[in-house]
Amino acid sequence: MTIQHKERDDRGVFYIKGENGIISELTYSKDDNSVITIDHTETKIAQEGKGYASKLMAHAVTFARENNLKINPLCPFAEVQFDRNPEFKDVLA
């Protein structure tokens, strides 16, 4: 599955689409100080447990690294992912 990205002004979303629409998404806001705040992560109930949200989180971290951004993990899922993955710490705001 391909991770897609949409961004406009100060908001963005990474998402994975299935046959019936979006099955998992991670949304964020971006401030003027090069920090993105992950505020929501959701996977459709029927698709939970397949690692989609974790893939989106890893993709967001790569995006932050490539664009010299830091991440504020406001969403509880994102916060847990930072705790579980010490290799993400370099982009932690």
* Predicted TM-score (pTM) of this structure: 0.93
Mean pLDDT of 12-39: 95
Q: Quick one: pLDDT at residue 32?
A: 85
Domains and CATH numbers, the chain: 3-9+19-40+52-91 (3.40.630.30)
Question: Quick check: 1 pLDDT over 80?
Answer: no
Neighbours of 61 (CB within 10 A): 23
